[in-house]
A and B are shown apart, each in its own frame.
Chain A
Amino acid sequence: DAGVIQSPRHEVTEMGQEVTLRCKPISGHNSLFWYRQTMMRGLELLIYFNNNVPIDDSGMPEDRFSAKMPNASFSTLKIQPSEPRDSAVYFCASSRRYEQYFGPGTRLTVT
């Protein structure tokens, strides 16, 4: 099993640009989570999908952030327009029961 796959692993972009982060969950898992980690705020849950349906997006910081899960094997987190304060490591996780499996993360730097 390849585990949760995230791409890109590193992204550097300029303020105002659109950024799309991608996630492939583990096959057979029906829940998917997007987290953001910064030194200041720690690890925060942004949004949670169950069976491809968004269940809770209360952690999404603002309208510039959007997430989709068009099918069970793919999800995206989009930031448009990006700002320097969005710089962080973004993790995707999936689960089937009680245990969440995290991907390696995408390190985003917005200059």
Chain B
Amino acid sequence: DAKTTQPPSMDCAEGRAANLPCNHSTISGNEYVYWYRQIHSQGPQYIIHGLKNNETNEMASLIITEDRKSSTLILPHATLRDTAVYYCIVNPNNAGNMLTFGGGTRLMVKP
């Protein structure tokens, strides 16, 4: 499976956009990019996933570069409740199983 590289931590001001980067330079053509987050003491929560096109839902946007070697998760208007660890995961199918969680990025949203 392809591995991902994320910065260990980031800060963001409340109300501003949070842009979380992820490198997955060894991603294969059939591997999807998934994002989950884990708020303190809770189970992880699915955010979004994509293959090669940009995706948007009610929580976030996912921008995948044309060569698919990296992606960015965008929280358009971060709130204090978005403070969490964000995990970028590549997965070999659209079924979302066999997820391998790395260290993630600890996002701190500050007032």
Contact = CB atoms under 8 A, between A and B. Distances in A.
Asked if A pairs with B, the answer is yes
B98 A103 contact: no
Nearest to B96: A98
Contacts, number: 54
A44 B102 CA distance: 9
A77 to B, nearest CB: 15
Chain B: interface size category: 20 to 34
A98 B44 contact: no
A31 B99 CA distance: 13
B100 interface: yes
Name A's interface SS: strand
Nearest 6 pairs between A and B by C-beta? A102-B43, A98-B96, A43-B101, A99-B46, A91-B43, A102-B44
Interface of B: 32, 34, 36, 38, 42-46, 49, 87, 94-103
